[in-house]
Structure 1
Amino acid sequence: MGLLIFSINVTLDGCVDHQVGIADDETHAFFTRLMDEGGVMLWGRVTYEMMESYWPAVARGEIEAQPAIREWAVKLEAKPKYVVSSTRKDYPWTNSHRIAGDLRTGVQKLKDATPAGVLLGSGKLATELDRLDLIDEYKFLVHPRIAGHGPTLYEGGLSTTRRLELVSAKPLRNGAVAMHYRRERG
């Protein structure tokens, strides 16, 4: 059974808006390494559609991009992508699959079938999966920014506090810090 790892960009005040972080070669290399280490990607429908509207065109060379960004796009194109959605049924983007039905059962089956792990990149979906006790690790890239607006991490709230064990903290040259935590169980 693989681990479910939640990874996202977050500012110091908890904002997870993808437009407020630092988007440079170093941050893209960080997420490319995470994607390389994992078996599959997991998103909610809204995140999937945001990614689908941009990254395939970058991978095809239709949008000008720096080498690290193009590398991310090409690897993402090839990576298996799973989407939780109760409404959308058609997924034409390469290697895209739908998880339908019971959320706990569908995601647990995906974890069981993916020894290399599942990389989760959707904030709202993470809240739901954390409520179901399915997230094993957290790899946040904390940006040296105060956004002053939302959306924020775990905006929907959790019923109990999550205790985490620090695995590593690595500062990047751009001032962001890659934080890796493991969920304490028991």
Structure 2
Amino acid sequence: MGIMTFSLNVTLDGCVDHQVGIADDETHAFFTRLMDEAGAMLWGRVTYEMMESSWPAIARGDEGAPPALREWAVKLDAKPKYVVSSTRTDFPWSNSNQITGDLRTGVQELKDATPDGILLGSGKLATELDRLELIDEYKFLVHPRIAGHGPTLYQSGLPSTRRLELVSAKPLHNGVVAMHYRRVH
């Protein structure tokens, strides 16, 4: 059974709006390494649609992009992608699959079938999966920014506090800190 790692960009004040962080070669390399290590990606519909709106075209070469972004796009295109959605059933992006039925059962089956682990990259879905105690690790890029707005991490709340153990903290050259935590059971 693989582990589920929740990874996201977050500002010092908890904002997870993808437009407020530092997007450079170093942060893209971080996420490319995470994706390389994982057996599959898992998103909610909104995140899937945001990713689907640009990365397939970059992977095909239809849109110009710097080498680090193109590398990410090509690898992402080839990676198995799973989507939780109750409103959409058609997922034409290559290697995309829908998780249907009971969320706990569907995601646990995916974890069981993915020994290299799953990389979760959706904030709202992470809240639901954390409520179900399905997230094992957290790898956040903490950006040296105060956004002053949302959306924020876990803004709809959790039923109880999660205890985490620090595995590593690595500052990047751009001021971002890569934080790796493991859930304490």
Shorter-chain TM-score bucket reads over 0.9
Task: Say whether 1:106 aligns with 2:119.
Answer: no
Counterpart-to-counterpart distance in 2, 1:96 and 1:116? 17
| Aligned residue runs from structure 1 range 20-35, under 5 A | 20-35=20-35
AA in 2 matched with 1:8: L
> Which whole-Å deviations, capped at 9, do the CAs of 1:75-132 have from their partners, x for residues lacking one?
0000000000011111100000000100000000000000000000000000000000
Q: Distance in 1 between matches of 2:63 and 2:139?
A: 29
RMSD over aligned Cα atoms: 0.4
Displacement after TM superposition at 1:143 (Å): 0.5
AA partner of residue 150 (structure 1): G
Match of residue 37 from structure 2: 37
Q: In structure 2, what residue type is equivalent to 1:9?
A: N
Structure 2 match to 1:146:
146
Q: In structure 2, the residue corresponding to 1:165 is in which secondary structure?
A: strand
Q: CA deviation at 1:61?
A: 1.2
With the length of structure 1 as denominator, give the TM-score of the two structures: 0.99
Report the equivalent of 1:18: 18
Matched residue of 1:147: which SS?
coil
CA distance in structure 2 between the aligned counterparts of 1:32 and 1:137, rounded to whole angstroms:
17
Q: What is the DSSP-based 3-state SS (H/G/I as helix, E as strand, rest coil) of the residue aligned with 1:97?
A: strand
Name the count of aligned residue pairs.
185
Task: Give the letter aligned to residue 98 of structure 1.
Answer: Q
Name the aligned partner's letter for residue 5 of structure 2: I
Counterpart CA distance in 2 for 1:33 and 1:100 is 29
Q: Equivalent residue of 2:167, what SS?
A: strand
2:170 corresponding residue in structure 1: 170
Q: Does 1:54 align with 2:36?
A: no
Alignment-derived partner of residue 131 in structure 1: 131
Amino acid at match of 1:176: V
User: 1:177 & 1:62 partners in 2: Cα distance?
Assistant: 33
Runs of 4+ in 1 over 4 A off after TM superposition: none
Residue identity matched to 1:37: E
Is 1:83 the counterpart of 2:59? The answer is: no
In the alignment, the residues of structure 1 paired with residue 62 and residue 115 of structure 2 have an alpha-carbon distance, to the nearest angstrom, of 34
Q: Deviations over 1:8-28 (max 9, x none)?
A: 000000000000000100000
Give 5+ residue unaligned stretches, structure 1. none
Q: Distance in 1 between matches of 2:8 and 2:91?
A: 23
Identical pairs, percent: 83
| SS of equivalent residue, structure 2 residue 5 | strand
Partner of 2:94: 94
Corresponding residue SS for 1:88? coil
Cα distance in 2 for partners of 1:170, 1:73 equals 25
